[in-house]
Amino acid sequence: FTWLVDGREQFATAVVPILTDADRGEEEEASSQLQSTQDPYSLGGLPGDQYRVRLHVAGKWRTVDWKQVSRAPAMELGKALPDDGRYYVSCSWNAWSFTAMDRGESVPGTYHAEVRVAGYGGEFQIIRNRDWQQVFFPSAADKNAVDGPGTNDTDASWPLHGRPGEVFRIEFRRSWEAGAESRAISWRRIEQ
């Protein structure tokens, strides 16, 4: 019995030997089949959930396990969950450094930044807390949809077409209402 778990799928695949009926004289063969089972670790938590994380040390071996100890309090219908993260624009024309986004005053969960294009356009992503493990990027299925946070292994970015010196306002929205997360991105050239 061998498990193949890569940490990215909802289902773990196991290679299971096929058993034969030796009583009926069937010839035994070394064969196996693949079976899938839902990976219990694929069920992600929600903002506000609390976990107990333990590091086990046995000589040179290290393992980590975790257990959810409490769920986030149920959100009241229509009440937004606050996000204490900071968001940044990272773009090709500034060598993928971080430009801080300002938090929107009127609508919770909105952030914006004004960026000046150095060349003829470029590409950008949104990064949470200056952490390259929390990248927001266009969905592979729909370029207008926002995927993430994640590592963005596909190197997907939004294109921004402009001329040198033009200023664009990039707006990002991420909010949780009634237990559901919503994300959106938009950008427009600012007239000067």
Q: CATH number for 87-189: choose from 3.30.70, 2.60.40, 3.40.91, 1.20.120.
A: 2.60.40
User: For 8-24, how does the pLDDT look when each residue is reduced to its tens digit (9 = 90+)?
Assistant: 455 555 666 666 655 55
Q: Where in the chain is the domain with CATH 2.60.40?
A: 87-189
Which string of DSSP letters, residue by residue, matches the chain? -EEE--SS-SEEEEEEEPP--GGGTPPP---EEEEEEE-GGGS---TT-EEEEEEEEETTEEEEEEEEEEPPPPPPTTPBPP----EEEEEGGGTT-EEEPEEPSSSTTEEEEEEE-SSS-EEEEEEETT-TTSEEEE-SS-TTSEEEEE--TT---EEE---TT-EEEEEEEEEEETTEEEEEEEEEEPP-
User: For 91-115, how does the pLDDT look when each residue is reduced to its tens digit (9 = 90+)?
Assistant: 998 899 999 999 998 888 899 999 9
pLDDT at 36: 59
pLDDT at 163: 92
pLDDT at 152 over 80: no
Quick check: pTM over 0.75?
no
